[in-house]
Structure 1
Amino acid sequence: MGNRRIEQRIVMASLIAASISIYIGYLGLLSLLIYKIFKMKTCEKDFLGKNNGTLWVIIIYLLFQLLQTRYTFYGLQAFTLIILQIAAYIAIRDNFSTEKEYSTLINILVWGSIIISGIGIIQYFYLDPSDLPKSWVDKNIYDIQIRVYSTLYNPNVLGAYLVSMICMTIASLEEIRKRPVHVISLFLCSICLIFTYSRAALLTLAIATMVLTALKKNKRYIIYGIIILIAALMIDGSNYTQRMNPEFAAKDSSIEYRIEIYRTVIDIIEDHMVFGTGLNTMRVYIDQYSSEIKAPVFHGHNLFLHTMAETGVIGLLLLLIMLGKSIKNSIEMVNESQNRGIKTIGISMSLFYMTLLIQGIVDAVVFAPQYSIFVWTMMAISDGIWINSRKEYRQHRWWKYEG
């Protein structure tokens, strides 16, 4: 078995493992990194080539972050996980090249979503409500008993993940061969999403279905959105009506909590504009800057504010470059590809990035280790498919499947 095939299998095994336990998933990526270092050729130009130029700038800047932060241990934790995620990104982008290989990888993600959503649904019926943090349910306003979190440890992180997987599966149902698996994933993810009670996730899904309807010119996606709304109202109509009501939302603790976090993060940015406070240090600085927030807060509840607070203007610029490149590749797949398979993957990935950015306004779940492993995987898929397709189009050999 060649190096390429071994790396493929380690990545896929790690993604399935991450669906069950994020710790086992990262152990799998650690084995991938060790294998890549052990097998790396000293004369391999690609490793230091233009494809990895941005990644090397990110790594070097994050190393600098470790030197300048006051909380090296927290920074080292985050830096280690990012290195493992980058290793997975490179392995996917460089070792998956054919339609069959990418279809297999996407199916692995779909199977993982079935595991995660299935565990979440089981939690809804068997989880002890007393085990949930009070801030998750806000009993002073709502009568919510359970908000599921599955193996992702937080309802909002789980909601963001489920929306991204729903967008990927629903857009690809018309093209992907193994439809039953995708249908099962779509059904379970949709039910599990309702059980998260995540307003941001449901709002993001509503916007995504409208965009998908416009792109695909098919009313079935709006119908799907209406079905989800009806299902949510049937399962717990009173609480969902209240949570979507601006009057109730203004009274619950999550809105006040976020506003105070935003104020605090802006104060942090003003004092650490250029380089930020260092990776994974928000948990320390928010408590120092705010007299109202005492519980550990791990992120700034806004993708861009959080990035700027921890890594400064330079870190925010690197994030925008990395995301911008992947978004550009996905949009080009939609606009320029004449192949239905590539175009559909492009739509799926474009919707994924759209959901990520919408969620990023009120959350920074992309930095949660249990979710970021999937974010880097999605970026690798969109970048890898389009890079390979542009190479192979000249030889008329890329992505033979036409539906």
Structure 2
Amino acid sequence: MRAASWQDAWTGGRRAVHLGNVADFNAQFLPQGPELRRLGHHYSCLAAFYTPHPALLVLPHQAEEGWLRRLAEVLAWEPVEVHSGIADEHSTLAEGLAARPALRRRIEELGLPVRPWGATAGPAATPGGPQHAVLEAVRRFESKAESHALFSRLAPHHPAVRVPGQRAVESPRRLVRLVREHAALGRTVVLKAPHGVGGYGTVVLTADQVGAAGGPRAALRALRAARILPAQSGILLEEHIAAHRSLPDLTFDGVIAEDGSVHPVGVAAMDVDEVHYRGATVGPGVVAEALAAPATTFGTAVGRELAEVGHRGWYDIDFVVDRTGRLAPTETNLRLTGPAVAFMLKARLDAVRDRGGHCVRTIDQVPVGVRLPQRALLDQLERVAVRCARLGATLLPTIPTAGFEELPTVGVALAARSTDVLTAAEAVLRTALRAAGDCWE
């Protein structure tokens, strides 16, 4: 009998119900004001891609019909039932579902797998409710301290992996002293909140930055005022790993099936701006086998440990590649992530087109030169898609709701047969969106 693929492990090979509960998941670990909740709701547009073939989507923001129609045409989806606009910056998806008993009944009647961004407490947040053990595993290993301890236990059996040094600093006064000592030696340090998302709650602090701020106390005060670091104690001080000059940060994605077996999905190259995740690329030749193999071996070992404590579902491990080519694991995510979208799209395109081997790049925040409502932004992307198609690339909008923010952006995915074509199409896209304001003026 053939081994089950990750898609079998993820949904049993079936279509699924997708819940865009990013803000709800984040609220378990981060203070949630209206701004952070709104950003989480924008990111929840990625719910369209939680599996390769959705059956029903529940989205916090209102989604234009044209967006889903475009996705369905390219990805050969059968009809997808969409329920959007059920939450706003003052409410969560869980509250939206709680107020809609008919929608909850509809989800239950379908009898399909329900896949949220990540596990949250309560049947209103996740119809059918995650098991207690899953929630406990999520709460434990989303912690950057707990994941570091797990990496440290496993690393001695994986010579290609080096774990950065890390210590918890409970006293604000001691943190000031340690930052001062490192700065005096010209060292860069990484400061981490116990929990964070997409780089928020993590900062790389150089000796020059400490000096420019007027010393460690002033530097830390400014980071807290800007909400880059939380005000409470318990900050983690981590060794800074100098990244390889030509190799990107990596992420390994895997699925833990209901029986506890671990199924690797793949290794992606991430686009990380200092500590903030911007996107990922997957496909043939994107990550050299010399890096993909040890990342997969270590990531699978981590998955087995997570399975032992009760986690079921998606997870990933992020890595920095140091200057000697060794892998430095930085965190675990016991949920879906941005790179998961690239893997889903690659799987679907490989399945519905004549031949596989797609390379897929996701870019979550492409700046737009003017604030545009959804329909106008989608029209603009349609014009760019025609130009990308001439290069041999397919463009798909992934986050179309953030185009009217104060700093407007849009999320997209690009698919092609080579990374060279992806790079050319990305250049066309960025240039066109920067110039979008000219058209509207």
Shorter-chain TM range is: under 0.3
The structure where helix makes up a greater share of residues is 1
Per chain length, whose mean CA-contact separation is higher, i.e. which structure has more relative contact order (CA < 8 Å, sep 6+)?
Answer: 1
TM-score (normalizing by structure 1): 0.28
Q: Comparing both structures, which one devotes a greater share of its residues to strand? A: 2
